[in-house]
A and B are shown apart, each in its own frame.
Chain A
Amino acid sequence: GAVVSQHPSRVICKSGTSVKIECRSLDFQATTMFWYRQFPKKSLMLMATSNEGSKATYEQGVEKDKFLINHASLTLSTLTVTSAHPEDSSFYICSAKTDSYEQYFGPGTRLTVT
Chain B
Amino acid sequence: GESVGLHLPTLSVQEGDNSIINCAYSNSASDYFIWYKQESGKGPQFIIDIRSNMDKRQGQRVTVLLNKTVKHLSLQIAATQPGDSAVYFCAENKGAGKSTFGDGTTLTVKP
Contacts and interface: CB of A to CB of B under 8 A. Distances in A.
Nearest to B97: A97
Contacts of A104: 46
Contacts of A45: 101
A45 B104 CA distance: 12
A98 B34 CA distance: 16
A110 interface: yes
22 contacts: A4-B43, A34-B97, A42-B103, A42-B104, A43-B89, A43-B101, A43-B102, A46-B100, A49-B97, A49-B98, A93-B43, A101-B93, A103-B34, A103-B93, A103-B97, A104-B46, A105-B43, A105-B44, A105-B45, A107-B43, A108-B42, A108-B43
Interface in A84-107: 93, 95, 97, 101-107
B41 interface: yes
Interface residues of B, number: 21
A69 B103 CA distance: 26
B99 interface: yes
Interface residues of A, dominant DSSP: strand
A95 to B, nearest CB: 8
A78 interface: no
Interface of A: 4, 6, 32, 34, 42-46, 49, 93, 95, 97, 101-108, 110
A110 to B, nearest CB: 7
B96 interface: yes
Given A101-B32, A108-B42, A44 B97 contact: no
